[in-house]
Amino acid sequence: MIRLYNRQSGQHAQIEAKEDGSVVVQEGSSLNRMKSKTFPPALVNEPTGSFVTARVEEFLARGFYFIIDEVAGSQGTLTFKLRGTLELEGLVQALHLLKLEERELSDLALVESSWWVIGGASVALDTKFNDRILTCEVPAAYAAGAGLLFALTAGTDVDVRNLDGNPREMRPLIAEAQAKGMVDEAILERLYALRVLQRPIRIGARQGNRRTGLRMTM
């Protein structure tokens, strides 16, 4: 069972695959008042996981974010947290690079708190005792967008951990974001500037026939 929420519309959503091969999709203003639509096995004419993923993507495209993903389980959940040294200028630049809609960037005083939805992850900014704290908790399967924001904002100082408190590497999250088409040249340049990634070696360098534009992979 997967549960999502849209903070702007106040709508809850739930997707559940049944043992008989059907998929139930629900949406409503509260968990107790959701309209239900059942896709019987005859309509699920592809692997159930792919069908569920497609329904999830439809909700993400409408601004929903993840609350629960029982398929991924708690072991697959990442907790992102950064406090103290967060600079608003860098955060604003990162949000612009991620191409959030202008209405989500309009209140850039960010004095008390704010939040954004990035790739199915809800990222919150809070100010407590003069510290700015950026946090996110999201199933690992959907953590690429949030991880990218933290990498763009914090560079090598970011603290990424799962629920057990074990550290997680940032580079696999960036690679996943690249695979999903979320990383363009402007984002790569900022990651290099923050030293989250080492600048790749250009093929042909030091050989007298440098071929610009060809780079080694991460």
- From first to last of the 218 residues of the chain, give the pLDDT tens digit: 899 999 889 999 999 999 898 999 999 999 888 999 999 998 888 888 889 989 998 998 898 998 888 776 666 678 888 876 777 788 888 888 988 764 455 555 455 567 888 888 888 888 777 777 888 888 887 888 888 998 898 776 778 887 778 888 888 888 989 998 889 999 999 998 888 887 765 544 444 444 444 444 44
Q: Within 10 A of 53 (CB to CB), how many other CB atoms are there?
A: 15
pTM of the predicted structure, to 2 decimals: 0.73
Question: Cα dihedral angle (43, 49, 50, 55), rounded to 10 degrees?
Answer: 70
**Cβ atoms of residues 62 and 76 within 8 Å:** no
In this structure, the strands spanning 33-39 and 2-6 are unpaired
Q: Any idea where the domains of the chain sit in the sequence?
A: 2-71, 75-193
- Given strand 2-6, what is the order of strands in its sheet? 33-39, 23-30, 11-17, 2-6, 65-69
